Structure 1
Amino acid sequence: MTLTTSWIDDITMTELERNPYPIYERLRAEAPLAYVPVLGSYVASTTDICRSIATSPDFEAIITKAGGRTFGHPAVIGVNGPIHDDLRSMVDPALQPQEVDRWIEGLVRPIARRYLEAFDNDGHAELVSQYCEPVSVRALGDLLGLQSVNSDKLREWFHKLSHSFTNAGVDENGEFTNPAGFDEGDEAKAEIRSIVDPMIDNWIDNPDDSAISHWLHDGMPEGQTRGRDYIYPTLYVYLLGAMQEPGHAMASTLVGLFTRPEQFESVVDEPALIPRAISEGMRWTSPIWSATARVSTKDVEVAGVHLPEGSVVLMSYGSANHDTAVFEAPTAFDITRPPLPHLAFGAGNHACAGIYFANHVCRIGVEELLDTIPNLERDTSSDVEFWGWGFRGPTSLHANWEV
């Protein structure tokens, strides 16, 4: 028997994408682990339940239905056992702190400066499209080995994949209510393969230091490589989640700082506060808001709710990061709050592999922006709108400054 109430039955995808916070606030209060019909799965909305399920031996990772339709199999976020171990052994080495420290400054700082030079004398900019997203996609694109793919194309790919991945609405029969919502994701994947396939052909015979080349070769017997169909689903994961997360975290952090002018000034005056501001920005508006899931491997009871074997639970980390049982006044951006751990990067053995990388991309990006334009101000003639339920961030952020 599923736990549901009439108002939960009426939740729509449109409401979730525009502003999931009021719905999840009510879920946390009334039904912190509840079956949500429009999503066709249970939803975990509090910190305790999310962390408990993410680390429980009674649950395994599973990709959401819309995620599976978007990425295919085996994507690193939705597999377990030896396949998960192999995929993590494939992607993790380049993202270890000692390795990231070796090249992160030389990779990201020139990228940030190059984008800033394009508009710092203009006195105005739309920071999401002109800076935050381009810095984010260019940093990861270059790490992967996609230097020849321009940043606008990388941004186009992650937006299309995001729309496809979050096209999660289902009817009473579990069928997608908007099948056409996957079309743009399919178009992006076809274009990705048409561009990356020739690169893979070259990397097979001529390995280099790019991440995708390492994915093909590392840990494989002499003369063998991992198959391209095996690595593509994880590449799509990277081209969506890993590309959008630093950019949207930067943008959300800036929006948050603009709500607290005194804290903005503190960060400008003391750049050592930037990592704390970024951490608060990721808690305040988690870039990966509710995009990962777990499945029960046996009948189990969680928070008083009976979950039959095979029950899928969406891990709403963005909701958990607004849990009043953990965070005081969680809707407020506040870099002075106690540095409590948040769940923006997940938990358990499927926690994000790129935690260290993403934090440093954000740090360098914000450092360069505020060092170059310390008198940055939000353009109050334009509203800041956030979008997304699976992934969330500002759609635009207009700013002005005196030149």
Structure 2
Amino acid sequence: MSISNHKAPLLDLFSAEFKGKAYSFYTRLRENEPVYRFMLPNGQIAWLITQYEDAQAALKDNRFIKNPHTLLSQEQMNKLILMQERDLLINNMGLSDPPDHTRLRNLVQKAFTPKMIKELRGRIQEITDTLLDEIQDKGKMNVIDEFAFPLPIIVIFEMLGIPTKDRDQFREWSNVIIEAITIDIPEKMQEALPKIQSLIKYIGHLIEERRKDPTEDLVSALIQAETEGEKLTENELYSMIFLLIIAGYETTVNLIGNGVLALLQHPEQFEKLKSNPELISSAIEEILRFYGPVELATSRWAGEDVLLHEKMIRKGDMIVVALASANRDETQFKNPDLFDITRKNNCHLAFGMGIHYCLGAPLARLEGQIALLTLLRRMPNLRLNTDAEALKWRPTFVMRGLIELPVVF
């Protein structure tokens, strides 16, 4: 793990200021320094990978691992903020390598088969209509808070068997926790600790209830699951429930919010989709490419020395793959800064690549399609209720999503 004083420019990937200029910054890096050595605010030295071909390769390269602890000396381990509470939330498939990753993914993937997702279509449509019924007479809304957030969290809560009345509590917890456990920054960890403890206590009660009285939900299935005789450990159970909650709605909130923004910023594409709803599948793929809900893939670490663009990435170095940059790479996409819902051969990396490809991608796509088509059908005169320049991106490390999106209709 490279925490060092060697000179490297500070790059605050968390800040809203960075989010606002990220795409132009990525363009310069792709042209001039596609493998970019920089320092995060916690002093961590890392490499930012920005070109499509390199990003795709890094996401599939087993020399880059997700769990760095096997690489670290005891001295380096001591520098990491590895408190017990955090450890309870990171033993999931998103932050593990084979064979653990394979075992954990096998335990949950049967809940996300195409057949299972297809069976959710009617319920997702029902939730969408109910949410818009509550808004319709107001003539205005904040798309994020009143539509993009409640839709996917109700869906994943119902899948997991969590009371939907608790959704706002989870949002408050996750807004702080997701960044604190993604990267070790002492101030963020201290700020998040009470919320992490509250979330762990909540998940513990949920597990206890399902052990006593199992139902047809995903938490019960995880408790009972066996793959070749193996069950989840207690730590893995907590971590997987946390991952499914967060991944189950965070990505889709941003997909819907970013999608509405992209359409409102490009009125001709908005009109084209209204007139040709059959274009919804390609429209969703273009939204995923143009304003992908995940800005940066979660961190990887070099398991051995890797030479890339004449830069030596040393064993133990941290790797950050910029999905948002790869999806605007001129060598892969014609006119990459053009938003075109009819784009063909749209091989974006919005959901990652390789063994860590997002398990919930089919569900996010379905929710996005239903949400946007229903919104355009019921509110065809949708338009921004603020200057586009006034919109702010959330200051987060991994995600790209708006703080709010006020519209009138």
2:161 corresponds, among 107, 132, 145, to 145
Task: State the AA in 2 paired with 1:105.
Answer: R
Secondary structure at 2:355's aligned position in 1?
Answer: helix
Q: 2:385 aligns with which of 379, 388, 393?
A: 379
Matched, 1:317 2:323: yes
Residues 80 and 56 (structure 1), Cα distance of their counterparts in 2 relative to 1, 3 Å cut: same
Q: Kindly provide the amino acid, as one letter, of the partner of residue 76 in structure 1.
A: M
Counterpart residue identity of residue 61, structure 2: S
Change (3 A) 1:68 1:126: farther
Deviations 1:206-258 (A, max 9, x none): 32221111111121689x95333222223322333331101110111111111
Q: What is the SS of the residue equivalent to 1:41?
A: strand
C-alpha separation in 1, matches of 2:233 and 2:241: 12
Specify every segment of 5 or more residues in structure 1 that has no aligned partner in the other structure, as ranges.
169-175
Return closer, same or farther for 1:66/1:384 CA change in 2, 3 Å cut-off.
Answer: farther
Q: What does residue range 89-108 of structure 1 map to in structure 2 within 5 Å?
A: 89-102=106-119, 104-108=120-124
Give the structure 2 partner of residue 127 of structure 1.
Answer: 143
Paired with 2:341 and 2:7, the residues of 1 have a C-alpha distance of: 35
Shift of 1:8: 5.8
Distance verdict in 2 for CA 1:158–1:147, change over 3 Å: same
Q: Distance in 2 between matches of 1:293 and 1:100?
A: 29
Counterpart among 342, 366, 369 of residue 363 in structure 1: 369
Q: How far off is 1:148 after superposition?
A: 4.5
Q: How far has the Cα of 1:140 moved from its partner? A: 1.3
State which drifts further: 361-370 or 200-209.
200-209
Q: Which residue of 1 aligns with 2:75?
A: none
Is the 8 Å Cα contact of residues 63 and 293 (structure 1) preserved in structure 2? no
What residue in structure 2 maps to residue 256 of structure 1? 262
Specify the SS of the correspondent of 1:121: helix
Indicate if the aligned counterparts of 1:109 and 1:364 stay in contact, CA closer than 8 A: yes
- Residue 305 (structure 1) aligns with: 311
Of the candidates 194, 207, 212, which is equivalent to residue 200 of structure 1?
207
1:391 CA drift (Å): 0.6
Query: Secondary structure at the residue paired with 2:338?
Result: coil
Q: Distance in 2 between matches of 1:181 and 1:40?
A: 18
Instruction: Give the drift of 1:154.
Output: 2.8
Gaps of 5+ in 2: 70-78
Q: CA deviation at 1:153?
A: 2.0
Count of matched residue positions in the alignment of Structure 1 and Structure 2:
386
C-alpha distance in structure 1 between counterparts of 2:80 and 2:48, whole Å:
15
Matched, 1:22 2:21: no
Which residue pairs with 1:171 in the alignment?
none
Q: Which residue of 2 aligns with 1:75?
A: 92
Q: How does the TM-score come out when normalised to structure 1?
A: 0.87
- Is 1:211 matched up with 2:227? no
RMSD over aligned CA atoms reads 2.7
- Matched with 2:175 is 159
Change (3 A) 1:163 1:301: closer
Amino acid at match of 1:31: E
CA contact (8 A) 1:216 1:227 kept: no
CA contact (8 A) 1:90 1:218 kept: yes
Structure 2: distance between partners of 1:114 and 1:68: 43
* Identity level (%): 22
C-alpha separation between the residues in 2 aligned to 1:390 and 1:321? 15
